[in-house]
A = this chain, B = another copy of it.
Amino acid sequence: MDKSIRNLFQIRENVHFLNHGSFGACPKKVFQAYQDWQRSLEEQPVAFLGREIGDLLDNVRRRLGAEIGASPDDLVFVPNVTHGVNIVARSLKLGGGDEILITNHEYGACKNTWEFISKKTGALVKEREIMIPIAPTLRQEEIADQFLAGITEKTKLIFISHITSPTALRLPVEIICQKARQLGILTIIDGAHAPGQIPLNIAEISADFYTGNCHKWMMSAKGAGFLYVRPDTQHLIEPLVVSWGYSAPLSHHNKTRLATLLEWTGTFDPAPYLSISAALDFADEYNWDFTRDECENLLQVALDRINEITGIDPIYPNRKGWYRQMGIVELPGDINVQNLKLRLYNDFHVEIPTIEWMNRKFLRISIQGYNSEDDIDALVAGIKCSLE
C-alpha cells in the first residue's frame, strides 16, 4: 500500500484504524469541500436553504445516480440506511400473518425496525439461515437458493443486505430480487456497505427499494445516504418525517414527487449530501479502483495470517468476489471478545470491532486506503498475545 495515501485522511497517527466499516472516514479534501458548503450556507442561509438548495441537490443526485446506476428521478437523499429502511418499513401496508423474509446476517438496527413493524401490524419476521463458512466450491446461486427456500405463500417482503454487517458477506441480491419479482414479493436491499466498495448498477438489481450509505465506503461526510425506489413502487411511499412536501406541488426545488415528499424534513444541514460530489471526485483523482485492489490484497493477507494463528477455517472461498475491503475471521469460541477488544485497543492501538453472532465470535477487518501492513502487523501481534 502506498503510505502517502494515509496523509490524505484525517485519522490520528497513533491508531491502527481497522474499522472503516462502522462510520467510514472522510478524506481531507472531501471534508474541506463539506465545511466550505457549511460556510456558504451561513453567509446567506435563506438564499442557500430557501432557493439554491434544490438545484445543488439535483446536481449531486445526477452525479450519484450515474455512479450507482440509478435514474436521479428514483433517488432521494436520506441521512443513512437506517433512516431509509424506516421510510420503507412505515410506508408498506403489511398485515397480520404477512411474512417478512430476512437472513440471519442482518444489521441489528434494521432488524429492530422490522420487529417494531411486526409488533404494530402482526406481520411476522422470518429469519432464513445462510451458513458460514461458505464451502470452497459453493456458487452464489446456491446461496440464493438456500435463502429463497424460505419463501412461503405468505411472504410479502424480502429484506437482505448487499454486503452484510456482522459477517461481511456479499449476498446474491440480483438473483434473489429477480426471483422475488416473478413471485410478486417486494424487495428492499440494505446497501450500507456497498456504495464505494463494489461497483453498483442498482437498476439492474431490480430491487423495489435499495438504500445505501455514502459516508462509509464512498467516503463522503457523515450523514449522507440515499434511498432508491423503483418507479412502479413509488406510489407506495409515504413520508417518515412529514413536512412541507406533503402538501407541496412539484416546484423547481423538488423535481419529483419522491424528493418532494421525503427530502425536506425541516431545517437541516445539507452539506453531507453535497459532499458526495467531492467524494466521487476524490475517488476519480486518486484512481481509487487501484487502491481498492490493494486493499483487497492486504485484507486477504490479514485474513490468512489470522486464520493461520487460530487454525480456524476461512469464512470465504479462496476466489475473487466474496469480499473486497471488509472481511471477517472466526475466533475460538472460548475467547472473551470484550477483553480482546479492550486489549487490542489499549495495548496495541488497534481499533477493530469484535462480533458476537449466532453464538460464534469474529473479528471484522476493514481495509481502506489509509491502512498498511503496519496495521495488520499490530493486529496480528495483538491476536497472538491474546490467544496465548
Contact = CB atoms under 8 A, between A and B. Distances in A.
Contacts of A241: 82-83, 86, 240
A108 B244 contact: yes
Contacts of A351: 44, 46-47
A17 interface: yes
Q: Which of A34, A35, A116, A222 gathers most chain B CB within 10 Å?
A: A222
Contact of A49 (B23, B116, B216): B23
A242 B19 contact: no
A80 B267 contact: yes
Chain A interface category by residue count:
35 or more
B112 A242 contact: yes
Interface string A337-368: 00000000000000100000000000000000
A109 B24 CA distance: 33
A149 B71 CA distance: 52
A290 interface: no
B42 A109 contact: no
A34 B42 CA distance: 12
A82 B239 contact: no
Contacts of A116: 238-239, 242, 246
B44 A17 contact: yes
Interface string A29-71: 0010011001101111111011000000000000000000000
A11 interface: yes
A7 interface: no
Contacts of A12: 43-44
A265 interface: yes
A364 B267 CA distance: 18
Given A38-B35, A83-B266, A265-B79, A44 B24 contact: no
Contacts of A238: 116
A242 B46 contact: no
Contact of A266 (B25, B79, B244): B79
B112 A269 contact: no
Contacts of A81: 266
Contacts of A267: 23-24, 79-80, 82, 213, 215-216, 222-223
Nearest to A113: B242
B82 A243 contact: yes
Nearest to A25: B45
Nearest to A264: B109
A336 interface: no
Interface in A209-242: 213, 215-216, 221-223, 225, 238-242
Contacts of A225: 266
Given A23-B46, A351-B46, A351-B47, A222 B269 contact: yes
A386 interface: no
A184 B109 CA distance: 35
7 contacts: A22-B45, A23-B46, A24-B267, A38-B221, A112-B243, A115-B246, A116-B239
Q: Which 10 A-B pairs have the closest CB atoms?
A: A82-B266, A80-B266, A23-B45, A112-B246, A109-B243, A113-B242, A10-B42, A116-B242, A222-B269, A223-B268
Interface of A: 10-12, 15, 17, 19, 22-26, 31, 34-35, 38-39, 41-47, 49-50, 79-83, 86, 89, 108-109, 112-113, 115-116, 213, 215-216, 221-223, 225, 238-244, 246-247, 265-269, 272, 351
